[in-house]
């Protein structure tokens, strides 16, 4: 028997993977260290920390750990590895250590917010990405890796 709340969480992770992948692809090497506050690579490292934390929450053994940021490509890899581990747990029959609502409002929403922050920073850094109609995007539950379908409809 499938749990519709877990399926919605998994779709949320797939949407995060799609949007984050769009934001990460095509970023210039200089982008990782752009800015005067938190740099994009620091934000991306935080997103990996949030996903790792979210998995511990889902397992019922909440634990926070801040990792030292690596280079951009390694942090992108870590992000998708952490996302896949979280999705795999949600796809399992293991019990959730928190409500689906709490998992949505904290780790998933936080990472979506930071994805938007990185998209804005790309524009400020002079390496903008094309706008896209995300409603038309082919987002599929369980597709949480860097490889995503091409955009269905982009804007100039």
Domain that holds residue 74: 4-155
CA distance 136 to 66: 35
The pLDDT, as a whole number, for residue 1 is 55
Question: CB of 14 within 8 A of CB of 134?
Answer: no
**2 contacts: CB under 8 Å, gap ≥ 6:** none
CA distances for 45 relative to 27, 38, 95, 116, 139, angstroms: 16, 11, 28, 15, 24
For 71-115, how does the pLDDT look when each residue is reduced to its tens digit (9 = 90+)? Answer: 999 999 999 999 999 999 999 999 999 999 999 999 999 999 999
CA distances for 138 relative to 14, 108, 149, 150, angstroms: 10, 19, 7, 8
**pLDDT < 50 positions in the chain:** none
> Does the global pTM surpass 0.85?
yes
Q: How many domains does the chain have?
A: 1
35: domain CATH number is 1.20.120.450
For 98-110, how does the pLDDT look when each residue is reduced to its tens digit (9 = 90+)? Answer: 999 999 999 999 9
């Amino acid at each position: 028997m499938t749990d519709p709340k877990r399926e919605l969480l998994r779709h949320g992770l797939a949407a995060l993977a799609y949007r984050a992948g769009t934001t990460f692809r095509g970023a210039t090497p200089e982008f990782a260290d752009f800015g005067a506050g938190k740099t994009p690579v620091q934000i991306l490292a935080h997103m990996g920390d949030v996903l790792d934390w979210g998995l511990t929450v889902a397992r019922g053994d909440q634990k926070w750990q801040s990792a030292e940021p690596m280079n951009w490509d390694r942090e992108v890899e870590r992000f998708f590895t952490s996302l896949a581990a979280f999705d795999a747990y949600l796809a399992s029959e293991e019990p959730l250590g928190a409500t689906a609502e709490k998992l949505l409002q904290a780790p998933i929403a936080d990472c979506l917010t930071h994805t938007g922050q990185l998209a804005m920073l790309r524009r400020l850094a002079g390496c903008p990405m094309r706008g896209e109609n995300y409603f038309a995007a082919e987002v599929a539950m369980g597709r949480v890796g860097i490889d995503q379908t091409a955009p269905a409809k982009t804007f100039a």
